[in-house]
Amino acid sequence: MKSCSFYETMILNEETSDKLNEHLKNCIQCQQLQSLMRFETTEIKLPDAFIEDAVKEAFIKAEPIKRRHDFFSTIVFIAVAIILVSIIITSLMIQDQLLKYYFGGVSLFMPFTVPVFSIIRKKVVMK
């Protein structure tokens, strides 16, 4: 018997039309294929107590993993922040040196460094 591929073609194209229903009425092969391929199952019923226990256990198991996960993401965040800040500072310093070289002594860091140095100096002098 030559096999009919009408149903197969229709489901592969995700088509469910009147044409298919009409075809299914007349074609035994496609009816058989349909009953073989479609399983409208309800999942296996597990006892409620079992599921509740399993979920509780999952929470207990997840706790240390989550803590470790949070710890590592904090570490990664801090590391990325440090790298970014050092990249920015280095590039500013390079820019600063270039400015100093080309414009003679004008420092970008002066507004920040002068007060800091003066505080340090005062403290050292006071001692």
Dist CA 81 CA 70 (whole Å): 16
C-beta closer to other proteins: residue 14 or 102: 14
Question: Which of 2, 25, 26, 44 lies at the binding interface for other proteins (CB under 8 A)?
Answer: 44
CB 108 within 8 A of CB 96: yes
Dist CA 6 CA 16 (whole Å): 11
Question: Which residue is listed with tokens 């298919």?
Answer: 20
If binding is defined by CB under 8 A, does position 17 make contact with other proteins? no
Kindly state the smallest distance separating residue 64's Cβ from other proteins, in Å. 10
Angle at 67 between CA 63 and CA 70, to 5 degrees: 135
Q: Which span sits near other proteins by CB under 8 A: 6-14, 16-24, 103-111, 116-124?
A: 6-14
Number of residues that bind other proteins (CB under 8 A): 31
If binding is defined by CB under 8 A, does position 125 make contact with other proteins? no
Q: Which span sits near other proteins by CB under 8 A: 46-54, 88-96, 98-106, 108-116?
A: 46-54
**CA atoms in the 13 A half-sphere facing the CB of 110:** 8
The type of residue at 57 is E
If binding is defined by CB under 8 A, does position 101 make contact with other proteins? no
